[in-house]
Chains A and B, each alone.
Chain A
Amino acid sequence: MDLVLIVFWLLALSILTAAWAVVSGSDIVHSVVWLATVFLLTAGIFILAGAEFLAIIQVLVYVGAVSVVILFGIMLTRRTLPGGDYD
């Protein structure tokens, strides 16, 4: 089997797993970190397809901007402390 094809399937399965983790997780910050993982692995798919510029822009724009999503996720939602009570 072709090495590129193996790497593609590994990346694709990881992306699907991470995307499932984004929507199934109960903690919003965990979801956003999984979202960043999805974006990074998508950049890997772009590199595999020979589109290096697109991959770098993907990391620069999306992965960089995910921290803003974390910011909104923390600021605009109620947070359950690990002890169980709300702050």
Chain B
Amino acid sequence: MTSLYDWSYWFCEAWLVPLLTPLLYFQEHIMPPFSNPAGDLARWMESDPGLNVLAWTIVVNVALMIGFTNVIIVVYLERKIAARIMDRRGPMLSFHSLKEIANDLAGSIPEYGWKTTTYAGIGILQNVADGIKFFCKEMIVPAKADRLLYTIGPVIFISSSILLLVLVPFSPRVAASSAPLGLLVVMAAFSIAPIGVLTTGWACNNKYTLIGGMRSAAQLMAYEIPLLLSMAGVFLVAGSFSPMDIVAQQQEVWLFGIPMWNIIPQFLGFIVFMVCILAEVERIPFDLPEAEAELVEGWTTEIGGLRLGLTFAAEYIRGFVGAMIATVLFLGGWAGPFLPGEIWFLIKVYGILVFFIILRWTVPRIRTDQILLLGWKRLLPLSLVNLAIAILYVEVF
């Protein structure tokens, strides 16, 4: 059981297929003159390609479940930390408050005495309430919208974001994909989403969505080149695009008892990367396409129904994957003493995410011309300097 794939292959071979195939074989000759295709399905499942497909299905589903669970936790953290920054408590809805809600609905008068109501919950049920709200929303297509692009725009954004979840490994054991070009695939999947944003913004036939989409494209031009250049420094040092090789390389060089993770020799690259990944995942201070104070809700103004909920979830997925890439590239990935690798990886990822969230609720948004100036005049030269430092580092060590 060295990896998730091996485990799920064993699970299919030892449990799933032996339990399923008798059912299918029983159905095969249930009506004697005819034979049922269920038998062919069972024979395919017992063959090696069939087991392979089943195992990969389980691996991808496990990766998606881990990712979506983390997205729920990130949404919860965002609300609680935002509330603490604003000196309030945030969502408190939990199993403890269900009794009070039930009393309320039954019409009995709740006792609001001094310290009689107990708010012992931490508010984790608020996510469930949000999910129910998104399920109940009506799906509206604006009358003069371009129906085709209005429909496929959010689909492009959501699907390319969900694809990201299976591409980044948690550790060599918990990994759905270990492509040798791993992080390049991640960046390619990241770069598809602005098409969805821009086409949705245009297709809604609304000036606010159009401005949001335009800002997304302007932002893309500002951050894309410094982002890839700052990653190029790490790729150069590791000599590979694979997350496994990059993390292994960061454990090779030790100085005074501390491992030389890429954040130490390439601190400039880390700064540039963090700024650019913030712009990539469209969080404040770079959430220009969805500036809810200026444009009503940005490019998502006209989206309704569960599609809106999935769009928000996709934005959090992008934030989570951005933090994962930062951890793999600069913070040593899953390397760390005592604890298992997955725990170390999650600790580092959540550290970066808490930093993102605190940044979101404490700094103002920047203007479109400022982000272009920042991208082309500051980040691009800095990332080139970082690339030179990386080349020097490779030459010295």
Q: What 0/1 pattern do residues 170 to 195 of B give for CB contact below 8 A with A?
A: 00000000010100110111011011
Q: In the assembly, what is the distance between CA of A74 and CA of B198, in Å?
A: 10
Contact B214 A64 (CB under 8 A): no
A59 at the interface (CB under 8 A from B): yes
B interface, size bucket? 20 to 34
Please, which residue of chain B has its CB at the minimum distance from the CB of A55? B188
Instruction: Pick out which of these stretches binds chain A: B68-76, B142-150, B300-308, B357-365.
Output: B142-150
Contact B191 A60 (CB under 8 A): yes
Residue in B181, B191, B194, B198 whose beta carbon sits within 8 Å of that of A53 in the complex: B181
Contacts of A50 in B (CB 8 A): none
A17 at the interface (CB under 8 A from B): no
Q: What 0/1 pattern do residues 99 to 123 of B give for CB contact below 8 A with A?
A: 0000000000000000000000000
Contacts A29-B202, A60-B191; is A70 near B184 (CB within 8 Å)? no
Contacts of B185 in A (CB 8 A): 56
B:36-81 near A, CB below 8 Å: none
Contacts A29-B202, A70-B199; is A64 near B146 (CB within 8 Å)? no
Contact A74 B202 (CB under 8 A): yes
Contact B149 A64 (CB under 8 A): no
Q: In the assembly, what is the distance between CA of A68 and CA of B224, in Å?
A: 12
Q: In the assembly, what is the distance between CA of A57 and CA of B149, in Å?
A: 25
Contacts A52-B181, A56-B181; is A64 near B144 (CB within 8 Å)? no
With A29-B199, A57-B184 known, 19 other A-B pairs at CB within 8 A are A30-B149, A33-B149, A53-B181, A56-B185, A59-B188, A59-B189, A60-B191, A60-B228, A63-B188, A64-B188, A64-B192, A67-B217, A68-B220, A70-B217, A71-B198, A71-B214, A74-B210, A75-B214, A82-B205
**Interface positions of B (Cβ within 8 A of A):** 144-146, 148-149, 152, 179, 181, 184-185, 187-189, 191-192, 194-195, 197-199, 202-203, 205, 210, 214, 216-218, 220-221, 224, 228
What are 5 A-B contacts defined by CB distance under 8 Å? A53-B184, A60-B188, A60-B191, A71-B218, A82-B205
